[in-house]
Amino acid sequence: MKTVKLVSEVRAEICSMKKRGQRIGFVPTMGYLHEGHLSLVKRSVEECDATVVSIFVNPTQFGPAEDYSRYPRDSARDGELLRSRDTDLLFIPTVEEIYGEGFSTFVEVGGLSEKLEGSIRPGHFRGVCTVVCKLFNIVSPDKAYFGWKDAQQLIIIRKMSEELNIPVEIEGCPIFREADGLAASSRNVYIPREKRRYAVALYMGLSRIRDLLDNHGIRDAARLLKEGRKTVEEYPGVELQYLEIVDPDDLSTVKTIDGKVLVLGAIRISGVRLIDNMFAGDK
Amino acid sequence: MKTVKLVSEVRAEICSMKKRGQRIGFVPTMGYLHEGHLSLVKRSVEECDATVVSIFVNPTQFGPAEDYSRYPRDSARDGELLRSRDTDLLFIPTVEEIYGEGFSTFVEVGGLSEKLEGSIRPGHFRGVCTVVCKLFNIVSPDKAYFGWKDAQQLIIIRKMSEELNIPVEIEGCPIFREADGLAASSRNVYIPREKRRYAVALYMGLSRIRDLLDNHGIRDAARLLKEGRKTVEEYPGVELQYLEIVDPDDLSTVKTIDGKVLVLGAIRISGVRLIDNMFAGDK
């Protein structure tokens, strides 16, 4: 595995890969890797000839009051993990390499970016789309892998790539969960040890909704959400930020369920924000 | 010359060109071609192995009260002209091929897009950047050719390409002028015949400023602009929309000139908007 910091170095490596006729898989990350990330790397290694991973904690997707500066970082450990999973190229740029002085070009997917996470984190998806568009142009992958954990992000990036005609296939990979169901996230490290067992609240709320829908035929979203909320609120110290049932195509609210839906939510526990989601209604 | 309507057809052609190791030059246009456009095609044919031209009157760069529907179109004549100038591939997509239902992804260069033309045509450069970004992703050219006639557009597209890491070189080509100095433009066809001789007003104003600066050493922008305005106003029926002296790097206003500047302006004559510009101060 080669590790590079400069855009020009990535381009040179990609150029050699393409000359050898290799199909390139790309996994963009913010580092502090967990099994969720590594499952994306595994898919890429299986499906492509060369796998490129980027680690970049992207400042433009954090709000001014968010955790950009304290976001967990450990690039030495990340590098070892990626090497052991057969990554070919690791790109770890500085902020200056990605955002030059006076940077002012942004990519935005209107509509989808203002809902759910976007309503709580204004500008978040603008930052995500901009950096992902840049990374796609730098790496020019054949396939790029994103986790369903960040469902809204995946849906937005898919729309952006289609609408800007970026020649990449966006692959969504299943959420990796801990034994109790908590979705793997770099931010889980923030959860105080004594609160860890309550962090499963959102997973339990989502599971409750899926069970009522798929196994008990309750199709009224208001009633499902009420039950889901009740489940989340059984866990002490958990604040539910939102819980919604939406159409996975356009994230529009669904009132009566008659097909596949996405149930998503966000909680705060001891100041830590956690998001999770689940498909349901496709039985 | 092959003419295609679909993105998939362009991609197939480009793929063959790249397999043959050809360097691709690209000239995006809105059609109704004049010698200005053809000078871009000439540069591309000279410098690249294959030349791709697009003709697309882009609705998202027109304001609601602007001339989108009556913008001049003549694709049969355009096709003949391009064939005679050794174009390899002509892409004429429909609006539906470029903007699918529910399209909502936009690219924007903040700051530069709000000045000058942007202040009079809000959203114009957002539309330009979005379609050019899409066309670059469809054609993936090595070089793309733009006329200095639309100076602000050229500067914005250069910044967009750099900041989004689009791997293309943006080449600026000199303004093509009629015998009297009027800059070639598809919109010149709108000028009533009896007013045609007054359309040169802006060119004369710009030339006056350049002369006073370069040959008479007047470096005070306010004084230069006053003289330039006076020249424009000598022509009957001409309304000056703006006249400015700016730094070509960031379009910021210059007060006292001590290097290369860009002098730009816009006029209206019989309801027709015309823009023009000139470099000066580099003697």
Distances (CA, A) of A248 to A264, A281, B14, B71, B80: 10, 11, 34, 39, 47
Cβ-count burial of B247 within 10 angstroms (0-12 exposed, 13-18 middle, 19+ buried)?
middle
Query: Chain A closest CA to B130's CA: distance in Å?
Result: 8
**Residues from chain B contacting residue A166 (CB–CB below 8 Å):** 137
- Single out the residue of B172, B146, B196, B187 nearest to residue B274, CA to CA: B187
pLDDT tens for B150-159 read 999 999 999 9
Arithmetic mean of pLDDT over chain A: 97
Spatial neighbors of A15 by CB under 8 A, at least 6 apart, are none
Q: Which of A7, A109, A134 sits opposite B105 (nearest CB)?
A: A109
Q: Half-sphere exposure of residue A214, counting CA atoms within 13 Å on the CB side?
A: 16
- pLDDT given for residue A282 in this prediction: 84
- pLDDT given for residue B152 in this prediction: 98
Residue B142 sits in which domain range? Answer: 2-173
Domain membership of residue A119 (yes or no) is: yes
Domain membership of residue B179 (yes or no) is: no
Pair A143, A47: CB distance under 8 Å: yes
- pLDDT given for residue B77 in this prediction: 98
Same-domain pairing of B134 and B202: no
The tally of domains found in chain A comes to 2
Cβ-count burial of A122 within 10 angstroms (0-12 exposed, 13-18 middle, 19+ buried)?
exposed
Could you tell me if A160 lies within 8 Å of chain B, comparing CB atoms?
yes
Q: How many angstroms separate the CA atoms of B264 and B277, rounded?
A: 4
- Single out the residue of A150, A69, A140, A60 nearest to residue A108, CA to CA: A60
Query: Chain A closest CA to B63's CA: distance in Å?
Result: 19
Arithmetic mean of pLDDT over chain B: 97
pLDDT tens for B240-260 read 999 999 999 999 999 999 999
Same-domain pairing of B140 and B39: yes
Could you tell me if B137 lies within 8 Å of chain A, comparing CB atoms?
yes
pLDDT tens for B4-32 read 999 999 999 999 999 999 999 999 999 99
CATH code, domain carrying A53: 3.40.50.620
Q: Is residue B170 classed as helix, strand or coil in its secondary structure?
A: strand
pLDDT tens for A179-188 read 999 999 999 9
Could you tell me if A12 lies within 8 Å of chain B, comparing CB atoms?
no
Same-domain pairing of A227 and A114: no
- pLDDT given for residue B95 in this prediction: 98
Task: Kindly state the tokens that stand for A237.
Answer: 């110290």
- pLDDT given for residue A283 in this prediction: 72
CB contact under 8 A, B138 and A106: no
Spatial neighbors of B176 by CB under 8 A, at least 6 apart, are B34, B35, B36, B39, B147, B149, B183, B184
Same-domain pairing of B139 and B236: no
Domain membership of residue B181 (yes or no) is: no
Could you tell me if B138 lies within 8 Å of chain A, comparing CB atoms?
yes
Domain membership of residue A165 (yes or no) is: yes
Best of A105, A136, A155, A158 to disrupt the B interface (most B CBs within 10 Å) is A105
Pair B272, B187: CB distance under 8 Å: yes
- pLDDT given for residue B282 in this prediction: 84
| Domain-ending residue, one of B111, B143, B173 | B173
Same-domain pairing of B169 and B207: no
**Residues from chain A contacting residue B163 (CB–CB below 8 Å):** 100, 103-105, 134
Q: How many angstroms separate the CA atoms of B21 and B3, rounded?
A: 21
Q: Residue holding tokens 């897009």?
A: B113
pLDDT tens for B83-134 read 999 999 999 999 999 999 999 999 999 999 999 999 999 999 999 999 999 9
Same-domain pairing of A262 and A144: no
C-alpha B138 chain-centroid distance = 20
User: How many inter-chain contacts (A to B, CB under 8 Å) are there?
Assistant: 75
The residue of chain A with its CA nearest to that of B249 is A102
C-alpha A259 chain-centroid distance = 24
Same-domain pairing of A208 and A110: no
pLDDT tens for A36-76 read 999 999 999 999 999 999 999 999 999 999 999 999 999 99
Same-domain pairing of A9 and A84: yes
The residue of chain B with its CA nearest to that of A133 is B164
Task: Kindly state the tokens that stand for A89.
Answer: 């190229």
A124 is catalytic: no
pLDDT tens for A164-177 read 999 999 999 999 99
**Residues from chain B contacting residue A108 (CB–CB below 8 Å):** 105-108
Task: Kindly state the tokens that stand for B124.
Answer: 């114009």
Same-domain pairing of B44 and B165: yes
Q: How many angstroms separate the CA atoms of B155 and A252, rounded?
A: 38
**Residues from chain A contacting residue B133 (CB–CB below 8 Å):** 164
Q: Which of A7, A159, A162 sits opposite B165 (nearest CB)?
A: A7
| Domain-ending residue, one of B173, B207, B227 | B173
A5 pLDDT more than 90 = yes
Domain membership of residue B138 (yes or no) is: yes
Distances (CA, A) of B86 to A117, B32, B80, B108: 51, 17, 10, 34
Q: How many angstroms separate the CA atoms of A146 and A186, rounded?
A: 15
Task: Kindly state the tokens that stand for B251.
Answer: 């379009």
Domain membership of residue B180 (yes or no) is: no
B261 pLDDT more than 90 = yes
Q: How confident is the model at residue B144 (pLDDT cuts 50, 70, 90)?
A: very high
Write the DSSP symbol of residue A281.
S
Domain membership of residue A210 (yes or no) is: yes
- pLDDT given for residue B60 in this prediction: 98
Q: What is the dihedral of CA A160, B147, B53, A132, to 10 degrees?
A: -20
Same-domain pairing of A73 and A149: yes
What is the ipTM metric for this complex?
A: 0.97
Report helix, strand and coil shares of chain B as percent, to nearest 5.
45, 25, 35
Q: Among residues A34, A37, A124, A216, which one is catalytic?
A: A37
Give the sign of the dihedral formed by CA B90, CA B94, CA B96, CA B99: positive
Spatial neighbors of B164 by CB under 8 A, at least 6 apart, are A105, A107, A130, A133, A134, A137, B107, B133
- pLDDT given for residue A82 in this prediction: 98
Q: How many angstroms separate the CA atoms of A265 and A174, rounded?
A: 17
Q: H or E stretch including A266? A: strand A261-269
Torsion-angle region of B111 (φ positive above 0: left; ψ -120 to 50: alpha; else: beta): left
pTM above 0.95, yes or no: yes
Helix axes B124-139, B7-19, angle to 10 degrees: 50
Same-domain pairing of B30 and B123: yes
| Domain-ending residue, one of B173, B203, B224 | B173
- pLDDT given for residue B267 in this prediction: 98
Domain membership of residue B253 (yes or no) is: yes
Spatial neighbors of B15 by CB under 8 A, at least 6 apart, are none
CB contact under 8 A, B105 and A166: no
pLDDT tens for A222-275 read 999 999 999 999 999 999 999 999 999 999 999 999 999 999 999 999 999 999
Spatial neighbors of B112 by CB under 8 A, at least 6 apart, are A104, B118, B125, B152, B155, B156, B159, B250, B251
CATH code, domain carrying A220: 3.30.1300.10
- pLDDT given for residue A58 in this prediction: 98
**Which residues of chain A from 63 to 102 reach within 8 Å of chain B, CB to CB?**
100, 102
Could you tell me if B167 lies within 8 Å of chain A, comparing CB atoms?
yes
Burial track A12-22 (b if 16+ CB lie within 10 A, e otherwise): ebbeebeeeeb
Same-domain pairing of B20 and B114: yes
